[in-house]
Amino acid sequence: MRMRVPHLVPLFRSFKFAPVAIIALFFFTNLTGFFFNRAFAPSAQAAQVETAAVDDDFIPADVPSSGDHDLDLIIFHTAERYGVDPRLVHAVIWKESKYKPQARSHAGAMGLMQMMPATAKRFGCTDANDEASNVNAGTKYLRWLLKRFNGDVSLALAAYNAGEGSVDRYAGIPPFAETQNYVRVITARYGKTFHPILDPEQARVEFNLVPQVAQLTEQ
């Protein structure tokens, strides 16, 4: 007697068409994904463009201002590039030149950050009266001093004013009235006596230099 298994035939046919169904499902999900992504892409792209625009022109509200927004952007982005708190750079510039690009001292220091010719050349300043070049060299020098003195703001400022050799010679802030007053004024204006040595990305977070819009977009 032969056994009949009619229920296997439909099952076999189902398996036979399974690859076709899988391929169809693959194309369907990709096609719907394509249209879905296109539908939402404009808003995502707009958010990215908006964030980029804000980044280029953004300065935290608690960072001091020179009164010239273009100059403020130079100071902010230069400080950001070297991992230096722009608030400290502003405090130095305010004390050194009161934001006057053509300032010149009786000793021959020039520009916003009052760079002496030898120091300016040492840190790549090609024109001491050029705002961007002067701020770049001065900020780079300030970072170098902060690193040399392990983040001690007072010693770094003393060295900026009197030279690192003088700080080494006196094992601290030199006993010069001008230098001591210089350090006192800037540290009071900056409000901190320690500045961590960080790479630029770490500094952006540590010094709150990242716009809130960018933070929300990243999340």
Residue 96 known to be catalytic: yes
* pLDDT above 80: residue 84: yes
* pTM given for the model: 0.74
Asked whether the beta carbons of 214 and 54 are under 8 A apart, the reply is yes
What is residue 200's predicted lDDT score, i.e. its pLDDT?
96
**Class in CATH terms, 63-206:** mainly alpha
Domain ranges of the chain: 8-56, 63-206
* pLDDT above 60: residue 8: no
Q: Is 180 exposed, middle or buried (0-12, 13-18, 19+ CB in 10 A)?
A: middle
What is residue 212's predicted lDDT score, i.e. its pLDDT?
67
pLDDT in tens, 41-75: 444 444 443 444 456 889 999 999 999 999 999 99
Of 101, 105, 135, the C-alpha closest to 120 is 135
pLDDT in tens, 27-47: 444 444 444 444 444 444 444
User: Where is 50: in which H helix or E strand?
Assistant: helix 18-57
Of 78, 75, 83, the C-alpha closest to 195 is 83
What is residue 56's predicted lDDT score, i.e. its pLDDT?
80
Q: Encode burial over 53-72: b for 16+ CB neighbours within 10 A, e otherwise.
A: eeeeebbeeebbebeeeebb
pLDDT in tens, 180-214: 999 999 999 999 999 999 999 999 999 999 886 54
List 50, 80, 96, 218, catalytic entry? 96
Q: Taking residues 84-110, what's their average pLDDT?
A: 96
Asked whether the beta carbons of 169 and 108 are under 8 A apart, the reply is no
